[in-house]
Amino acid sequence: MKWRLLFGLLAMIAMVPLFSQTEDDRITIRSFYDEALTSRQSYHWLKDLCAIGPRLSGSESSLQAIHWVKGVMDTCGFDRVYLQPTLVPHWERGNPEKAILYDSKGGEYPLNVLAIGGSVATPPGGITAEIIEVPSLMAIDDIPREEIEGKIVFFNPPFDQTNIGTGASYGSNVGTRAQGAVKASQKGAIASVIRSVSSGDDDAPHTGTGHYEADVDSIPAAALGVRSADIVQHVLKLDPHAKMHLEMSCKWFEDAPSFNVIAELRGSEYPDEIIAMGGHMDSWDVGEGAHDDGAGCMHALGALKLLVDQGVTPKRTIRAVMFINEENGTRGGEEYADQAVKLGEKHLVAIESDAGGYSPRGFGITADEEQRLKLESWLDYFPKNTISYMSKGGGGVDIGPLHRADGTPMIGLSVDGQKMFDLHHSANDVFSAVHPRELELGTASMATLVYLLSQYGL
């Protein structure tokens, strides 16, 4: 009996450091949430960033934002802040686009339209042609060339409102934006116009990247607002010979110099093990890039600042990376990966926030199952109603090149994104659409994740 009591006492004594460590972690983590929710630092920074305006790669405003965020980082007490040069694509929209629908009886219907990113211009004065409606990207394959040649193709797939996760609906339709101009041109069309890939029901057009192929004639590509697309659909049912007039003055320029912006806290015990987290500084040239992806940038910057403010000395090196050129080229992510390989850097993990500044719900993990289960074992550290899952599959466009280069595990922040595709890539993506508490809960959740990774590795 005495031996049993002795063994029991020794076991209890052995558990004391672990219990103390766990409680210390919980106190530290709770301080992240308390500070984020009361100071609203990420939210205030986001307001300043959005005041600069849209930040498409190659633009003066993108450089202004880059130097602004570096200036902020320089005041935060980080161990190192630096710019990482790269060249980025430079495309400009030009004058406001113009689209008008004409029926055979002389009726005119002005339409809200935006050029798809990277589009070529129309000839001066625009183009006017009959329209052919195509229900999906693949459906055009079954339409004879003679029915399309010389016309404007109107891709009109509806946004699938039955999906609980709106990202699935976006993913199933985004091909019309990316490849519509190529598919239409192959059938002899003179332009491609799509229903905006949007879950909303307003008339703000949604832009985004489009692609061309070298051996296919490049034709103008544009996106209609949802209600404008409804008008075209309705008129075509009554008048199959209705015509559209389209004017766009987009232009490509030579690649422009730009930068990633990187802030770093050096690890005290394992400085050569790097935890990188970030978002992308560039945004489309409409709106303010508040959710996409000013929020993700401020998540990363705010999380790193929380570690400083709460007196955390990380065991592993932690970086906040503001990537450039996610929207139309991924040059920032590629440059970061190239430099990491060149310098022989070892990344423990790369984390990205690019789903918007909404309430955090979980993290998506691209790693081996043992690593994912370790992350899953930390769920209890996150306050209720914040992070509730560590699911298989996740990452991001900016951290993808690093993962492909050396196998670095990837993590992507998942949020309650029901509203994201109402405003994504449109003039509605503005600071006023961001709620401070939702944004700050994301910042604190990112801080919690990198803190635990720094303390306990992966």
Q: Where are the domains of the chain?
A: 30-91+254-456, 94-249
Query: What's the predicted TM-score (pTM) here?
Result: 0.94
So what's the pLDDT on residue 22?
84
> Rounded distance, CA 171 to CA 151, Å?
27
Q: Is the pLDDT of residue 15 over 90?
A: no
288 is catalytic: no
Q: Is the pLDDT of residue 8 over 70?
A: no
Mean pLDDT of the chain: 96
Kindly report the CATH number that applies to the domain delimited by 30-91+254-456.
3.40.630.10
So what's the pLDDT on residue 4?
53
> Rounded distance, CA 189 to CA 206, Å?
22
Kindly report the CATH number that applies to the domain delimited by 94-249.
3.50.30.30
Q: State in Å, rounded, how far the first CA of the chain is from the last one.
A: 41
> Rounded distance, CA 31 to CA 158, Å?
45
Is 94-249 in the same CATH topology as 30-91+254-456?
no
Q: Mind listing the pLDDT tens digit for each residue in 336-388?
A: 999 999 999 999 999 999 999 999 999 999 999 999 999 999 999 999 999 99
Q: Is the pLDDT of residue 432 over 70?
A: yes
Instruction: Name the β-bridge partners of 409.
Output: none
So what's the pLDDT on residue 21?
63
Q: Which of 125, 438, 424, 396 is nearest to 299 (CA)?
A: 438
Average pLDDT over residues 71-76: 99
* Lowest mean per-residue pLDDT among 9-23, 30-44, 339-353, 383-397: 9-23
Q: What's the chain look like in SS3?
A: CHHHHHHHHHHHHHHHHHHHHHHHHHHHHHHHHHHHHHHCHHHHHHHHHHHHCCCCCCCHHHHHHHHHHHHHHHCCCCCEEEEEEEEEEEEECCCCCEEEEECCCCCEEEECEEECECCCCCCCCCEEEEEEEECCCHHHHHCCHHHHCCCEEEECCCCCCCCCCHHHHHHHHHHHHHHHHHHHHHCCCCEEEEECCCCCCCCCCCCCECCCCCCCCCCCEEEECHHHHHHHHHHHHHCCCCEEEEECCCEEEEEEEEEEEEEEECCCCEEEEEEEEEEECCCCCCCCCHHHHHHHHHHHHHHHHHHHHCCCCCCEEEEEEEECCCCCCCHHHHHHHHHHHHHCCEEEEEEECCCCCCCEEEEEEECCHHHHHHHHCCHHHCCCCCCCEEEECCCCCCCHHHHHHHCCCEEEEEECCCCHHHHCCCCCCCHHHCCHHHHHHHHHHHHHHHHHHHHHCC
Q: Is the pLDDT of residue 1 over 90?
A: no
Q: Is the pLDDT of residue 19 over 70?
A: no
So what's the pLDDT on residue 10?
42
Q: Mind listing the pLDDT tens digit for each residue in 113-164?
A: 999 999 999 999 999 999 999 999 999 999 999 999 999 999 999 999 999 9
> Rounded distance, CA 326 to CA 344, Å?
24
Q: Mind listing the pLDDT tens digit for each residue in 375-404?
A: 999 999 999 999 999 999 999 999 999 999
> Rounded distance, CA 121 to CA 191, Å?
10
So what's the pLDDT on residue 448?
99
| 337 CB-contact burial (10 Å; exposed 0-12 / middle 13-18 / buried 19+) | buried
Q: Which of 336, 328, 111 is nearest to 234 (CA)?
A: 111
pLDDT category, 311, cuts 50, 70, 90?
Answer: very high
Q: What is the dihedral of CA 104, 106, 107, 110, to 10 degrees?
A: 100
Could you say which of 97, 247, 326, 334 is catalytic?
A: 326
So what's the pLDDT on residue 245?
99
Q: Which of 443, 449, 275 is nearest to 378 (CA)?
A: 449
So what's the pLDDT on residue 89?
98
Q: Is the pLDDT of residue 273 over 50?
A: yes
Average pLDDT over residues 411-422: 98
Q: Mind listing the pLDDT tens digit for each residue in 254-272?
A: 999 999 999 999 999 999 9
Write phi, then psi, for 245 (nearest 5 degrees). Answer: -105, 130
So what's the pLDDT on residue 345?
98
